[in-house]
């Protein structure tokens, strides 16, 4: 079995070895691969492992030996699934590996906004407390999460984990999801209600035709001026110009995003210099524990495929 790993650098900064895949066959590991060179680097491989490299119908047509594509990701919009099915190629993703990490980062954003720890740390270290006349000095407004409304768009594993954490803070959770969930303890609302009622709105759904640019001018116009928007899902879920305009014109209070339409970030993204917009470089999934869980799932997917019982198959 010949295995081509196309973009290993997207999975590790040197803290995980690709040797783990040698139990399955001969491994040809590339740190990065451009979309244009995908077919060349796959060559005669039987199995392809990748994160974000585009595997198109053209690539599959040139690489006749491919039997399996394994993703280092939950999302699979970089794979032409119809073509893969037509070519008889099994495609498996790594669902649910990042649930805890993404939920954690979502609340890191929320707590950053509400508690303003870094601002107070800077205030203290610049002698703000030294020069205070009172024992407690609070020039920056902080907020309790208790009683605030959290709108969760997408109620899969991550959405459920986020809602559970919100429960612990005493937040009012409302949910928008494509299909009505079974035994959901939270109020299920329309997209319009999710935006209009939110103190915090967080998106945890895949990028589809239905969710593309769901954070748009129309929906943003429904929000409270004090509302905060969070996107840890996919960049295409946001109309970046519309969000930047809403921030710059004080129509909402703040935004936190871990994903952008163009990644790595384009210097031209409207969000780069938008007011009260915090951007992290797609790191919600990046804790070492999370990535080790990812590798474990990818390996188990390969074993299941080789045993004739594919799991996490998406085509």
Catalytic residues, by residue number, are: 234, 263, 282
| Closest by CA position to 23, among listed 300, 309, 312 | 300
Q: For 139, what's the count of Cα atoms within 13 Å in the CB-facing half-sphere?
A: 11
Radius of gyration of the chain (CA): 22
Q: Which of 147, 111, 61, 155 is nearest to 256 (CA)?
A: 111
Paired with 29 in beta bridges are: 5
CB contact set of 311 (below 8 Å; sequence gap of 6+): 92, 300, 301, 304
Q: How far is 47 from 262, CA to CA, in rounded Å?
A: 28
Which candidate, 204, 205, 199, 269, places its Cα nearest to that of 227? 199
Which residues neighbour 279 within 8 Å (Cβ) at sequence distance 6 or greater? Answer: 256, 257, 258, 260, 265, 271, 272
121 burial via Cβ count (<10 Å: 0-12, 13-18, 19+): exposed
């Amino acid at each position: 079995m010949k295995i081509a790993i196309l973009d290993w650098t997207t999975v590790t900064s040197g803290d995980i070895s690709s040797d783990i895949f040698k139990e399955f066959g001969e491994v040809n590991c590339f740190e990065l691969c451009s979309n244009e060179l995908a077919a060349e680097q796959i060559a005669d491989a039987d199995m392809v492992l990748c994160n974000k490299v585009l595997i198109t119908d053209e690539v599959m047509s040139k690489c006749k030996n491919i039997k399996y594509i394994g993703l280092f990701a939950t999302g699979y919009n970089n794979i032409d699934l119809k073509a893969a099915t037509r070519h008889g190629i099994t495609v498996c993703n790594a669902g649910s590996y990042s649930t805890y990490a993404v939920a954690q980062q979502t609340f890191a954003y929320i707590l950053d906004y509400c508690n303003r720890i870094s601002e107070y740390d800077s205030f203290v270290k610049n002698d703000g407390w030294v020069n205070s006349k009172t024992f407690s000095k609070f020039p920056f407004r902080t907020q309790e999460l208790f009683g605030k409304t959290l709108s969760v768009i997408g109620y899969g594993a991550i959405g459920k984990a986020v809602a559970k954490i919100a429960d612990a803070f005493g937040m009012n959770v409302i949910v928008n999801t494509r299909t009505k969930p079974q035994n959901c303890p939270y109020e299920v609302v329309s997209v319009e209600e999710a935006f209009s009622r939110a103190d915090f709105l967080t998106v945890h759904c895949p990028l589809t035709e239905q969710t593309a640019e769901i954070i748009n001018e129309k929906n943003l116009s429904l929000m409270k001026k004090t509302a905060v928007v969070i996107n840890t899902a996919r960049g295409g879920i946001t109309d970046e110009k519309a969000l930047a305009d809403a921030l710059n014109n004080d129509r909402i209070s703040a935004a936190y995003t871990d994903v952008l339409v163009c990644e790595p970030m384009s210097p031209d993204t409207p969000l780069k210099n938008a007011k009260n917009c915090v951007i992290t470089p797609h790191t919600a999934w990046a804790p070492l524990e999370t990535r080790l869980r990812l590798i474990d799932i990818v390996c188990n997917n390969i074993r299941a495929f080789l045993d004739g019982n594919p799991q996490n198959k998406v085509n």
